[in-house]
Every structure is written in C-alpha cells, then in structure tokens.
C-alpha cells in the first residue's frame, strides 16, 4: 500500500519531460517474442506493468536487460509457451502475449485474465478472431490452452472496436500463412506504434491507424530497434494538473497530434494551449469552465483513460458538466472519492453518466484510489484542493505513472509519497 500526502494550492508550472507510453510499450514487448535475436526498445517507461512484462519474457526464456529506459530483449530461445498464472492475474494486458506466442510457437497456455475494477473486460473478440485463424482453444478451469498447427490468415470483423483484440490478432497475423484483414479495427496511436515496430522487423502491414488492417503473413521476422511513442495519457494527466491549479506548464518529448481530442476539450474549458512538433504548453489564467457534454469514445474520439482525470477537473469548474463513459461499464469509483472532498457529482444510467456541478473549492481529506486512472484523478484533485489530502493507493498509480510524486514536485507540487508495503 502506498500513501500520497498532497498539500493543495500550489500552481503546477515549469517544464516536464514525458516518457514512453505504457499502452504502446506493452504490445511491443510482446512483439519482441516474434523474432530470434536481440530487439532494443528505447524510451520504455519504468513502471510496474513493464516490469511485470519483463518477468513474463524471462519466464518464457528470453534474456532481458532493462536500464535507463532501454530494454534489450533476446528472444532467440523460447523455452516455454506457458504464461505464469500469478503474473497474468496481476496484469490483464498479459493477454497480448497470447497472439505473439501463437505467432512464434503456434501454441500458448494462459490463465484467462479476470475482469478488473473498471469492468468485466471480456476477451471474446480475441478468442473468436484466433479461432478464425485456425486456432483451437480448450479451457480447463481457469486455464486456456491454444494450439494451431498451421496459423492461417482470415477475414475478421470486430464486433466492438477493441484495442487489445486488434493488437493481439495483429501479433498473430504477421507470421500466419496468407492474408489477414481486420475490419472495424481500433485506430489508437499505440496500434500505429506497434505496427511501425513490426514493419521494422519485416512484417507486411497496411492500414495501421485506420479501421481496416491488412496483414500479409511472412515466414520469419528479424529483431529490430524501436523508440516507444510518448505516453499520451500521462501527457493529458499533467496538462490537467496545470489546468486545475491555474498553472503554466510546458511538456516536452510529446506528440501534440496524438492528444488532439484532449487539448480540444482543454481549450473549451478556457485553457490557452500552444503546440510545437514535440512540445505542448498549457496556461490556465482563470478558473476552468464546464463542458456541457463529454463522451468517451474509441480513437480519434475522447479517450476513456482521460475520463477520471477530467471528472476531477470538472468538479472544480464553473458550471455544470455531463460526462458519459461509453467504453467501460464500471469506471466511476472516483466519483464517490471526489464527493468526499466536497465535489458535487451525481451518477446516473448505471454509473455511466456523471452530472458534475462544479465547485469553487475542494477540501483535503483522506481518499482511496480504486484503479489506475481513478488514482491519478485523486492526485489531481488533491493538487487543487484546500489543505492536505492523503491518497491511499494499493499500487495502481505506479502501474501507469513513473514517479508521479517526483514529477509533480519538479513543477511546483507539494507531493510526498510513503510506501507502506
Ligand atoms: C486498452 O485496454 C488499454 N490498455 C486501456 O487502458 C484503454 O482504456 C482501452 O484499451 C480503451 O482505449 C492497454 O492498452 C494495455 P478494449 P483493452 O479491448 O484493450 C470490450 C489504462 O488505464 N471488449 O479496447 O482491454 C471491452 O469490454 C488502460 O491504461 C469486448 O467486449 O480495451 C470494452 O468495453 C485501462 N470483448 C471495449 O471493448 C473483447 O474481446 C474496449 O475495450 C475485448 C474488448
């Protein structure tokens, strides 16, 4: 258990460098399994989920070195196609190793990843896609065993736009026999980054970033070098920290294009934003104003991972906002915690609609984080609140933010971190 002790009221101002993207790095680490030899991955964030993935790669037989945000992965000898249940249960996104192991070994054994705090998060689209590619999947209790003597390309329509299913099927398709077409594929920038890495390994992929991906399978891939794209959700989170505290923050090593949906809303709330090729500056001279109706959607729409941080910001804005979470069915636990700080948030429609009457002030108290982005939202609220807030966190925040306390202190925040575990 960790505790963040935050004294509110300081403006978040200055210059901060943003690291590589968690949700780009995770599928790219799985992709290193697809080739013998040593892949080198630069700008990899040093966060818990990456360290879990390193443990999984080592468990499978890879030699891995992780120093100074650079990962060297030698996947020449894969000695095992069984994913460790204890790690799979800790990190849902380990499901992405399924596609990579099917591509490399034509076999994988994995515990079905349970749901989590933000929803059931089924994997039916992953499974039905693999089955179309000739994979036979048997379940034995909690364990799934997938095997495919010959992995064949297939035409696959994804019923829902799913980031993980798109990535998982892409990871299998690059070494399948023949062409795979993914229709209604997710268009997130992280998928484009994964495709860039796979293409540098020798994969034949067209349409990354569009809703139709065409992959012609190849016989073999080569290890490659890649630089992970900037983390767009960390970028959005720190911009909000400045927005909520009337700050003036410049973020470097970012890609403004990737978070246009977020910066468009920040401008609606009254922030002054200037963008350069790898830099974004946000200045918030006044109290934020409400957003009449904000909806989370698949990319290029407003990202669900920014919902909780934005709800925290709108809790202090002038006017009433309505936020609708359309991606996950249980991403609302932060509302109760924010209300304990004096926010006025009413939940409706099975906790998928937030009606937020903005308040001039929130007040410090003791609150909990219930998931990664909800925890980040509580840190943001504490920065803007009057007095001291203790954010109790069982480790969610560190899964997606590399030293959030240190980063915020570097730009004026008063944030202490106590690790109780
Ligand atoms: C990825 O999760 C991200 N995680 C999530 O970020 C992000 O919120 C999400 O995409 C949406 O952008 C990583 O990239 C590691 P989905 P993923 O499959 O792939 C339903 C964070 O905070 N669905 O796009 O699990 C699903 O229930 C995390 O960094 C099915 O029904 O999300 C959801 O309602 C949280 N069947 C919707 O699709 C399936 O087989 C979108 O989920 C798969 C998904």
At 56-93, the pLDDT tens digits run: 999 999 999 999 999 999 999 999 999 988 888 888 88
Residue nearest to atom 17 of ligand 1 (CA): 164
Contact at 8 Å (CB) between 233 and 23? yes
Distance CA 148, CA 333 (A): 41
CA 49 from chain centre, in angstroms, equals 10
Helix (H, G, I), strand (E, B) or coil at 391: strand
Task: Check if 307 has its Cβ closer than 6 Å to any atom of ligand 1.
Answer: no
Q: What is the mean pLDDT of the chain?
A: 96
% of the chain exceeding 90 in pLDDT: 93
Three-class DSSP labels, 39-79? EEEECCCCCHHHHHHHHHHHHCCCEEEEECCEEEEECCCCC
Residue pointed to by tokens 């809790």:
315
Task: Check if 401 has its Cβ closer than 6 Å to any atom of ligand 1.
Answer: no
Residue pointed to by tokens 């080592």:
58
Please list, in sequence order, all residues whose beta carbon lies within 8 angstroms of the beta carbon of residue 419, skipping any fewer than 6 positions away: 2
What are the pLDDT digits (tens) for 222-259? 999 999 999 999 999 999 999 999 999 999 999 999 99
Q: Roughly what angle, to the nearest 10 degrees, separates helices 22-31 and 232-244? A: 170
Instruction: Report cis status (omega within 30 of 0) of the bond before 300.
Output: yes
What are the pLDDT digits (tens) for 394-417? 999 999 999 999 999 999 999 999
Q: Is 62 a catalytic residue?
A: no
Predicted confidence (pLDDT) at residue 144 exceeds the cutoff of 90: yes
Which of 99, 83, 110, 167 shows the shortest CA–CA distance to 133?
Answer: 99
Residue nearest to atom 43 of ligand 1 (CA): 123
Which of 109, 93, 2 shows the shortest CA–CA distance to 52?
Answer: 93
Q: Which atom of ligand 1 is nearest to the CA of 49?
A: 15
Distance CA 294, CA 354 (A): 10
User: What average pLDDT does this structure show over 27-46?
Assistant: 98
Burial of 274 (0-12, 13-18, 19+ CB in 10 A): exposed
% of the chain exceeding 70 in pLDDT: 99
Distance CA 37, CA 387 (A): 54
User: What is the predicted pLDDT for the residue at 421?
Assistant: 62
Q: Which of 19, 24, 99, 164 to mutate to test the pocket of ligand 1 (most atoms within 8 A of CB)?
A: 164
What are the pLDDT digits (tens) for 287-338? 999 999 999 999 999 999 999 999 999 999 999 999 999 999 999 999 999 9
Predicted confidence (pLDDT) at residue 116 exceeds the cutoff of 90: no
Contact at 8 Å (CB) between 153 and 129? no
User: What average pLDDT does this structure show over 267-272?
Assistant: 98
Band the pLDDT of 113: cuts 50, 70, 90. Answer: confident
């Amino acid at each position: 258990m960790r505790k963040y002790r935050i004294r509110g009221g300081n403006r978040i101002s200055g210059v901060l460098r943003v690291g590589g993207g968690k949700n780009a790095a995770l599928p790219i680490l799985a992709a290193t399994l697809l080739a013998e030899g040593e892949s080198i991955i630069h700008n990899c964030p040093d966060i818990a989920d990456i360290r879990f993935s390193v443990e999984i790669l080592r468990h499978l037989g890879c030699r891995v070195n992780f120093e100074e945000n650079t990962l060297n992965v030698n996947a020449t000898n894969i000695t095992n196609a069984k994913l460790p249940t204890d790690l799979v249960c800790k990190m849902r996104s380990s499901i992405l190793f399924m596609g990579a192991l099917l591509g490399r070994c034509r076999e994988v054994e994995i515990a079905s990843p349970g749901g989590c705090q933000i929803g059931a998060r089924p994997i039916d689209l992953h499974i039905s896609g693999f089955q179309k590619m000739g994979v036979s999947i048997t379940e034995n209790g909690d364990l799934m065993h997938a095997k495919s003597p010959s992995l064949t390309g297939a035409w696959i329509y994804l019923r829902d736009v799913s980031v993980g299913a798109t990535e998982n099927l892409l990871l299998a398709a690059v070494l399948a026999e023949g062409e795979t077409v993914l229709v209604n594929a997710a268009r997130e920038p992280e998928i484009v980054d994964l495709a860039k890495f796979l293409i540098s390994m020798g994969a034949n992929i067209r349409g990354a970033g569009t809703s139709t991906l065409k992959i012609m399978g190849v016989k073999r891939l080569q290890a490659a070098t890649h630089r992970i794209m900037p983390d767009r959700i960390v970028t959005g989170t720190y911009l909000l920290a400045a927005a909520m505290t009337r700050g003036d923050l410049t973020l470097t090593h970012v890609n403004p294009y990737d978070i246009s949906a977020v910066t468009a809303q920040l401008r609606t709330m009254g922030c002054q934003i200037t963008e350069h090729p790898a830099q974004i500056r946000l200045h918030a001279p006044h109290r934020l104003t409400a957003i009449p109706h904000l909806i989370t959607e698949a990319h290029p729409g407003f990202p669900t991972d920014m919902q909780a941080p934005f709800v925290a910001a709108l809790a202090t804005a002038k006017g009433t906002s309505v936020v609708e979470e359309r991606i996950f069915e249980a991403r609302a636990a932060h509302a109760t915690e924010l209300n304990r700080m004096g926010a006025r948030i009413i939940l409706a429609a099975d906790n998928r609609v937030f009606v937020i009457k903005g308040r001039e002030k929130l007040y410090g108290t003791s609150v909990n984080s219930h998931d990664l982005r909800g925890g980040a939202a509580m840190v943001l609220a504490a920065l803007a609140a009057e007095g001291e807030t203790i954010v109790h966190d069982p480790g969610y925040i560190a899964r997606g933010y590399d030293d959030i306390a240190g980063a915020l202190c570097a730009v004026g925040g008063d944030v202490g971190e106590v690790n109780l575990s």
